[in-house]
Amino acid sequence: MKKTQLISILLMAVIAVSGCKKDETETVADATTEEAAAIVATSFCTGSAGTMTQMEDAINLSQPTVYKSTLADSTFTITSQAGAIIAYQYGVTYSFGFITPNTYQLAYTSSGNYTSPSTLGVITSEGTLTISGIIDNSTSYICNGNAGRNGTFTMKIGNTNSITATVTTTITDFKFNKNTGICESGMANVVCSGSTSLGKTFSYSGTLVYSGNYMGSLTLNGKNYTVNIKTGTIG
């Protein structure tokens, strides 16, 4: 009787261990917050010609302050420099001009692909930015607006999922110093949502707080990441 009980206990132990091993090696279908943070970071960073690049372009295009009653259009291709941390190529259309003497607007669309240390993306993007404070006595240009990026992303980090995602960004009071043209502060509300190649849907939301010197703090669903705005890397 004792021998039979011992065999039963050993069999149960083997089954339990086998079950644990299966769980450890099972593919995780959900997109992690780390993967979403990497997608958000590259959508914003200058290294991938993201939203921060469009804000800088809007500031530069608003000089000199020649009033235009209608917006001008420009279509062009941009390509990353050889050896850049992020390699990209996009077709871009800008529509830009003064909508009031003190308010400049840049609307844009783009499509193409990029390869970063964390992500390979095939994307389309669009946005509308307004620059105010151009002819008043303030020390800063103020950028507000919205931006969006849609695409498919092959992840090199986290669960290494293949992800279809949309990033929406609402830009609030990004301040650019009038003397240097450098962005000093700002905040953006972000949402990253979509689905993985294994059929799991996800949605992460939070804020990106820009602290200057091309660095920011990204919070998604309560998890915090440091973002390098030049390279799109997170830590």
**Residue at 234 is within a domain:** no
Q: Are 177 and 166 in contact (CB under 8 A)?
A: no
In a domain, residue 111? The reply is yes
In a domain, residue 18? The reply is no
SS3 221: coil
Domain contains 107: yes
Query: What digits encode the pLDDT tens for the residues 51-72?
Result: 999 999 999 988 865 555 556 7
Q: Could you count the other beta carbons within 10 Å of the beta carbon of residue 182?
A: 13
- Residues with Cβ within 8 Å of residue 160, at least 6 apart in sequence: none
pLDDT digits (tens, 9 = 90+) for 107-146: 999 999 999 999 999 999 999 999 999 888 889 999 999 9
C-beta of residue 146 within 8 angstroms of C-beta of residue 169: yes
Question: How far, in Å, CA of 234 to CA of 223, rounded?
Answer: 12
CB neighbour burial string for 8-38, b if at least 16 within 10 angstroms, e if fewer: eeeeeeeeeeeeeeeeeeeeeeebbbbbbbb
Number of domains in the chain: 1
Structural domain boundaries enclosing 100: 32-228
pLDDT band at 24 (very low <50, low <70, confident <90, very high): very low
Taking the C-alpha atoms of 148, 85, 93 and 143 in order, what is their torsion angle to the nearest 10 degrees?
Answer: 60
In a domain, 17, yes or no: no
What is the amino acid identity at position 212? G
Q: Would 6 be classed as within a structural domain?
A: no
Q: Does residue 106 carry a pLDDT above 90?
A: yes
Q: Residue 199: is it exposed, middle or buried by C-beta count within 10 angstroms (0-12/13-18/19+)?
A: exposed
Does residue 4 belong to any structural domain of this protein?
A: no
For residues 18 and 209, give the distance between their C-alpha atoms in angstroms, rounded to a whole number: 46
For residue 27, tell me if it sits in a domain: no
